[in-house]
Amino acid sequence: MKIRILGSAAGGGFPQWNCNCETCDGCRSGRLNTQARTQSSIAVSSNGQDWVLINASPDIRQQILSNPDLQPNRQLRDTGIKAVFLMDAQIDHVTGLLMLRESKVRLPIYCSARVKADLTSGFPIFNILEHYCGVDWNEVRPDGTPFTVPGIEGIQFEPFALTSKAPPYSPHRAAPAPGDNLGLVIRNTVTGACALYAPGLGVIEPPVERAMATASLILVDGTTWTDDEMSRRGVGKKLAREMGHLYQSGPGGMLEVLAAHPNARRVLIHINNTNPILIEDGPERAAVRAAGVEVAQDGMVFEL
């Protein structure tokens, strides 16, 4: 089973197009030791040619160009993307669906009923796609019920609910419920090895703890270094927790949580443009390394 990181940044990418914070300006000017990143997405395959795209980033075209395995060139019009799984309905995880509208077949999309409701109402991408390739919706339950994808042999997907809110445009933004945001266990049914993918994670609840305890690879929310990072950088007032993300440093932070799982490969993903761990020779990155944790980069590949 191969897991390929297509994009490792949070919404807006890094550097963000309109941001001149310390890290964005330092990346753009070359003043800081950083690497640019596209917006959060991964792809999973059992044969290296047929892939499940997990979240459709606005940067999907660039990601496909940078990862030729997703365009195997077997015929005049071709793609390695067999299906798309959506973990939520956030703009940075679904807008890439519009770029896939030239598909020769109806797009097989797996998501919860809550996400489907948002994508046919507040942000009606599914409705728009019906004028192009069309969508074949496959419901996934936010209770750990496993599912498989035709053509992706030997891989099982196990989605579970995370505590979070629907997007700001959602008709049920003020009434969060299971299915608005999912975590995902990706299991190799041949070897039994599994990975946890949770790019948006604000609360460590029992399902998350169980998934971390059994995973050999943990790809987990790395959005901010501190809870008040947005105000520290002068770009906003919301706390990380208010945005549905667990900060990394300090008591109760993600590094402390990950310290309980030393046998897994632990990787921070979905990194906000303000996060100082993006500075490769900075003290925050050194603290991450000292904890035995990695910082995701676009193009990384894991085999389980």
The DSSP code sequence of 98-119 is GGGTT-SSPEEEEE-HHHHHHT
Taking residues 7-18, what's their average pLDDT?
97
Q: Classify residue 64 by its DSSP letter.
A: H
143 close to 112: Cβ distance less than 8 angstroms = no
Per-residue model confidence as pLDDT tens digits over 104-159? 999 999 999 999 999 999 999 999 999 999 999 999 999 999 999 999 999 999 99
8 close to 37: Cβ distance less than 8 angstroms = yes
Alpha helices in the chain (DSSP H): 22-29, 60-66, 91-94, 113-118, 125-129, 206-214, 229-232, 254-258, 283-290
pTM to 2 decimal places: 0.96
Taking residues 51-62, what's their average pLDDT?
98
What tokens does 171 get? 């008709």
Cα of first residue to Cα of last residue in the chain, in angstroms, is 5
User: In terms of DSSP bridges, do strands 294-295 and 301-303 run parallel, antiparallel, or are they unpaired?
Assistant: unpaired
Q: Give the Cα separation of 268 and 277 in Å (integer).
A: 10
Q: What percent of the chain has pLDDT over 90?
A: 92
